[in-house]
Amino acid sequence: MVRPVPWRRPAFTLIELLVVIAIIAILIGLLLPAVQKIREAANRMKCSNNLKQIGLALHNYENTYGYVPAWGFDFVTAPPGNPYGSNQGHSTLTQLLPYVEQGNILTTLNLQRSVIDPVNMPPAYGTNSNSTTVIKLFICPSAPGSRPTDYGPYFAANGLPLGPILLPPTDYAPLRGVHGSLQTCTGGTTPTGMEDQGMLGTNDRKNKPTVTFAETTDGLSNTICFAEIAGRQRAYYMGRPNAGSSLGDGGLTLNCGWADYNTARQIHGYSAAAAAPLPSGVSEPPAGCSSINVSNVNGLYAFHTGGVNILLGDGSVRFLRDSTSPGVLAAMITRNGGEVLQSN
């Protein structure tokens, strides 16, 4: 009797396996850019919402006090009892903490004392561990997650060698005004002397103590109060980190912390023609007429393609293209320049 031969399924050949692998690789290559675009779109929307929440906080603050919190202020003299002898005051974001559901942090800070005071600084410089709290609302999700934030070298250079002091960063900065390097590129449409004529002004205890919405005579809907200057302390130029790894060699730029009022910036004009990254020892490119996504040292900068998110005085958020002309940008920064704002 002849026994039936069991049927065996033929195995895949090497060529068939290679073809299947190639097809899978092609599909992944086609899908990956789409996934990345979707992720970036979500990050950009989240970033826009962060600024929107800051705008709501700003308006709630103004409704409470009748004026806006300045980009920063100094006390007339250093409050007594401060061994560091500093009279530096507090940032806009610190003053807005109760209005972004972070009032628990503010209760541990003393706004009547300098930000550089043991009661407001973390160990080993002080006793307040809450001053190192990272607030996600102040960080753009598109910005690099790992970055240096150490103020230790700065304090060591000023006679306080107490080790690292990692202050939590922010990617959103108040705009102080228009630096002369940008003003020269506006074709005479921006008046001179606008370095500190941003919407928030300076609550300088030595001079005028408050700035109001009414003083934004250019119009709240035409004036930027906050914008992205992302990625600090790492210094970036034209999409790439600068060469170097410290404050001294151009790789880092100091001010990045939400509690540091020096995070606010006068917006410079930059040249976009130099090769990236900049050479070691150089933190800023030469002066020119570009200020969006060129350098994050003193210019608007984001990790979104094509522009940055900005918060206007009326609380609205817009995406400002990096092709925006210097004249339009400068007009949007000043609160009372009297410029005629035209579409770019």
Query: 12 phi and psi, to 5 degrees?
Result: -65, 140
Q: What's the pLDDT score for residue 182?
A: 95
Burial of residue 62 (number of CB atoms within 10 Å: 0-12, 13-18, 19+): middle
Give domain limits for the chain: 41-333
Q: What's the pLDDT score for residue 41?
A: 83
Please report, as a single letter, which amino acid is at residue 80: P
Q: What's the pLDDT score for residue 305?
A: 93
Poorest-pLDDT segment among 127-131, 323-327, 337-341: 337-341
Q: What's the pLDDT score for residue 1?
A: 53
Average pLDDT, the chain: 90
pLDDT tens digits, 300-320: 999 999 999 999 999 999 999
Residue 341 has pLDDT above 90, yes or no: no
The residue with tokens 């959103």 is 172
Helix segments in 89-208, DSSP class H: 92-96, 103-106, 152-157, 180-183
Residue 143 has pLDDT above 90, yes or no: yes
pLDDT tens digits, 168-193: 999 999 999 999 999 999 988 888 88
Residue 47 has pLDDT above 90, yes or no: yes
Query: 282 phi and psi, to 5 degrees?
Result: -115, 120
Mean pLDDT value across residues 242-246: 93
pLDDT interval class at 11 (50, 70, 90): low
Mean pLDDT value across residues 74-82: 87
Poorest-pLDDT segment among 10-19, 76-85, 202-211, 268-277: 202-211
Q: What's the pLDDT score for residue 27?
A: 77
Name the percent of the chain lying above pLDDT 70. 91
Mean pLDDT value across residues 126-154: 95
Q: What's the pLDDT score for residue 260?
A: 96
Q: What's the pLDDT score for residue 286?
A: 94
pLDDT interval class at 34 (50, 70, 90): low
Of 326, 331, 262, the residue nearest 298 (C-alpha): 262
pLDDT tens digits, 248-295: 999 999 999 999 999 999 999 999 998 899 998 999 999 999 999 999
The whole-angstrom separation of Cα 240 and Cα 247 is 17
Q: What's the pLDDT score for residue 217?
A: 94
